[in-house]
Structure 1
Amino acid sequence: MWSSPRFLQRKNPMTSSVPAVTPSRTALVVGATGIVGQNLAARLVAEGWTVHGLARRPRHDVAGVLPVAADLLDPPSLAGALKDLRPSHVFFCSWMRQATEEENCRVNAAMVRNLFAALPEPELLVHAALTTGMKHYLGPFEAYASGEPPVTPFREEVPRLDLRNFYYDQEDALYEAAERHGFSWSVHRPHTVIGYAVGNAMNMGSTLAVYATICRETGRPFVFPGSPVQWDGLTDLTDARQLARQLLWASTSAAGRNEAFNIVNGDLVRWKWLWPRLAVWFGIEAAPYPGHATSLEETLSGDAELWEQIAAKYGLTESRIGRLASAWHTDADLGRPVECVTDMSKSRRAGFLDYQYTPDSFADLFTRLRAERLIP
């Protein structure tokens, strides 16, 4: 019902994968302070869009992004915050973690529904894009990668798992709004996202930067915390800038309408190859892999005061380790007992041909964290 045959049409590989945007270029980025929304907003601003960035506590210092303070779970105040906005495009890049998947489904679907209900003229929308992720194939955190291992590479056409999953509920809320108001949609499924953001709930890149910094300052071994499958096996990752490029492409391309797309960098890595390269950036050696997962959350659990000391020593701008590190999420991703490889054929055949070298994703992030004095 929700798929379009247009993606089967092959595109000229010599053409740009990000075409000229539509005449109406006003974006509402929902979750504008997160790892996805922040990088997307920067891309849209660079492309000449008018960008409104919605968050509960939006930043007011981002060039070109007009802050919108709103709570997606408070419909009256949300409607008030949006009463003067007439976006042509909505990019929904937000979620709220709850204690159970049942609550995740209820709360996160409500956020999507509330957003479209609060827009004063949703019939003016051209396109809405939703960012979800690999839990579409792996299941929710409370049943993460359990049961029969999923078949890799992950492909968009595989049926949903027979589990409650808030990604599915968010998708359904998007489909309902699109049918009601007549706009096109796209769904984007990244793997682990690497990119700049502070205070993000799921940020492996900055978590590993904090971990490596602590190892350098204390002499602790820089041990890969994940499973043997992740250490030895092939995997992929998603640069937030690569995701932003695909979001822009799908939202302004006929081939991107009413489709779900995987999005990864386009290369494959093994952590046993990548881990020593991350260590070199920080001037340390990678410790031998112990052959089993080691909880990074436990490793960093008593380091709040230590990070405050490191921040004071080097004059860092963020002394709260919890604003930079989300070790629980890094444990979940690197601790998977199954192979995680993603197929990108669908969007490539539709014309999205961008590529990102994964080691550069980490190096660029670490360089920016250092430049903004978030790590020494």
Structure 2
Amino acid sequence: MSTAIVVGATGIIGRAIVERLIQDESISVIYTLSRKPGGHTHAHPKVRHAFLDLRASAQNMAIGLAGVSGTYIFFSAYTSVSDPEEMFKINNDMLTNFLTAVEITGATKSIKRFILTCGLKQYGCHLGESKQPMVESDPLLTDDVGGVKWPANFYYTQQKELAQAASKHGFEWICTLPKDVIGYAKGNFMNQATALGLYCAVSRALPGSVLPYPGSRDNFYSFNTWTSSDLHAKFCLWAAKATEPGVGNNVFNVVNGDTETWQALWPRLAERFGLTIPDAPFTTAEKSTDSSTFQLSTVQPLAANARALGISKDEKVSTPAIIDVKIDFAKWAKRPDVLEAWETIRDQYGLDQSAWDNATWDFMNVAFGRHFSTVASMSKARKLGWTGYEDTWDSFDRTFRILEEEEILPGRT
């Protein structure tokens, strides 16, 4: 029998991993770690909660980790702050101190594989257009790749630190790169499904019950990939136990396996929430007070591949990306009529106000305002035996149902 440690167990990714581990008969004990005593919601004989403050020193972490060991470690902890330099330092320190802490306790001796969750910012898609599709062999945006001084990316340093620790202590490591994770964890609203569901629910309560598309024409027709938290959890367990040569000490994209567009998803979204779509959504002659346009701060990540692709003279490569939304979600969420509609349905259905207060409105602006596709290839994992797949609309629909059951969204009548 094997044991597992889940760091970040109260998050959307960590919660799904714990659920999968509970179902795995080969796992006898699951240690869930968080700053909240008893912070994980899973009540199961396998699950043992341990207090861990990832912002603490390695020595203090080691105290909380006394007696805790795992065959497999799943590290999905992440802290988001507004200052990029602070976020870089905090997230690096969390992993580095944790690795030092398990070395202090001697728990490194029992580790077989350590699974680290990062994301598709690996390719710089938060900075602009990346080469499509994104594959794991694409160059990292470090130093002066492509003649550009790229912003620091803590994913790269985390992977380097983990690889060094694995080599030192004789275990294997794997890094997963999910994209726009769809899922649910109690009290955690950092995912697109919550904000999108709230936008739909309030739109239904507004006069006309229409669902205007908030983004640009290019965004509506671009191609994207998403990651179900449940599918990601299945992948993590596969990666932890897979015996195929080449799985260990590797980085993998983890997306659902389909390629979707908002032109296909938006009508289904409207139908599900009982809304109609206004015609000609991209022909507004004048900018409304709800719209926003801003430019990102670096050149497009395509610059890292420009010479190899023969596009070094393409102006798009050397020009920062534009984010353009017809409806700025952050502005929309503060409109008096929107707030009134939200408060009405909140009181009628007993909904959670913190979901509205903590919805990722700014992230939604980027997701709907970009003018480029974000498609990740799953070929590398599939060649090594991974066969998992989930339909992206099914991921959204299942999460919406959970959000309704948890009184984040109003139930359908």
Q: Same fold (TM over 0.5)?
A: yes
Aligned to 1:332: 366
Aligned to 1:314: 349
Q: Aligned partners of 2:383, 2:211: CA distance in 1, in Å? A: 40
Q: Structure 2 vs 1, CA of residues 322 and 51 (structure 1 numbering), >3 Å: closer, same or farther?
A: farther
Query: Normalising by the residue count of structure 1, what TM-score does the alignment of the two structures yield?
Result: 0.86
Q: CA deviation at 1:299?
A: 1.2
Aligned to 1:290: 282
Q: Which amino acid aligns with 1:194?
A: I
Selected match of 2:35 from 49, 56, 60: 56
Selected match of 2:272 from 240, 265, 281: 281
Aligned to 1:46: 23
Q: Structure 2 vs 1, CA of residues 324 and 103 (structure 1 numbering), >3 Å: closer, same or farther?
A: closer
Selected match of 2:235 from 239, 246, 260: 246
Q: Which amino acid aligns with 1:96?
A: T
Aligned to 1:176: 164
Q: Which amino acid aligns with 2:236?
A: L
Aligned to 1:95: 78
Alignment pair present for 1:159 and 2:103: no
Contact kept? 1:199, 1:322, Cα under 8 Å? no
Q: Aligned partners of 2:218, 2:76: CA distance in 1, in Å? A: 30
Q: Does 354-363 or 248-257 show the bigger shift? A: 248-257
Aligned to 2:118: 132
Q: Deviations over 1:56-102 (max 9, x none)?
A: 23534313333223211112442222112011111111111123322
Q: CA deviation at 1:332?
A: 2.1
Aligned to 1:11: none
Alignment pair present for 1:362 and 2:396: yes
Structure 1 unaligned residues grouped into runs of 5+: 1-22
Q: Aligned partners of 2:120, 2:277: CA distance in 1, in Å? A: 28
Structure 1 residues 267-278: aligned runs within 5 Å: 267-278=258-269
Alignment pair present for 1:111 and 2:94: yes
Aligned to 1:78: 61
Q: Aligned partners of 1:175, 1:103: CA distance in 2, in Å? A: 23
Q: Aligned partners of 1:95, 1:304: CA distance in 2, in Å? A: 30
Query: Normalising by the residue count of structure 2, what TM-score does the alignment of the two structures yield?
Result: 0.79
Q: Which amino acid aligns with 1:31?
A: G
Alignment pair present for 1:67 and 2:67: no
Q: Aligned partners of 2:53, 2:343: CA distance in 1, in Å? A: 31
Q: CA deviation at 1:252?
A: 0.6
Q: Does 75-84 or 106-115 show the bigger shift? A: 75-84
Q: Structure 2 vs 1, CA of residues 47 and 126 (structure 1 numbering), >3 Å: closer, same or farther?
A: same
Contact kept? 2:329, 2:364, Cα under 8 Å? yes
Aligned to 1:257: 248
Contact kept? 2:216, 2:282, Cα under 8 Å? no
Q: Aligned partners of 2:401, 2:14: CA distance in 1, in Å? A: 20
Q: CA deviation at 1:373?
A: 2.2
Q: Aligned partners of 1:105, 1:359: CA distance in 2, in Å? A: 33
Aligned to 1:27: 4
Q: Structure 2 vs 1, CA of residues 30 and 60 (structure 1 numbering), >3 Å: closer, same or farther?
A: closer
Contact kept? 2:180, 2:227, Cα under 8 Å? yes
Alignment pair present for 1:197 and 2:185: yes
Q: CA deviation at 1:309?
A: 4.0
Q: CA deviation at 1:352?
A: 0.3
Q: Structure 2 vs 1, CA of residues 300 and 102 (structure 1 numbering), >3 Å: closer, same or farther?
A: same
Q: Aligned partners of 1:198, 1:305: CA distance in 2, in Å? A: 25
Number of residue pairs matched by the alignment: 346
Q: Which amino acid aligns with 1:197?
A: A
Q: Percent identity?
A: 33
Larger RCO, structure (CA 8 Å, separation 6 or more): 1
Contact kept? 2:177, 2:253, Cα under 8 Å? yes
Q: Does 300-309 or 348-357 show the bigger shift? A: 300-309
Q: CA deviation at 1:117?
A: 1.4
Aligned to 1:37: 14
Secondary structure in structure 1 of the residue aligned to 2:401: helix
Larger-Rg structure: 2
Structure 1 residues 213-252: aligned runs within 5 Å: 213-219=201-207, 221-252=210-241
Q: Aligned partners of 2:216, 2:249: CA distance in 1, in Å? A: 36
Contact kept? 2:6, 2:31, Cα under 8 Å? yes
Q: CA deviation at 1:134?
A: 0.9
Q: CA deviation at 1:322?
A: 4.1
Aligned to 1:9: none
Q: Structure 2 vs 1, CA of residues 273 and 351 (structure 1 numbering), >3 Å: closer, same or farther?
A: same
Contact kept? 1:89, 1:251, Cα under 8 Å? yes
After superposition, the CA RMSD in angstroms is: 2.0
Contact kept? 2:136, 2:253, Cα under 8 Å? yes
Q: Aligned partners of 1:59, 1:287: CA distance in 2, in Å? A: 44
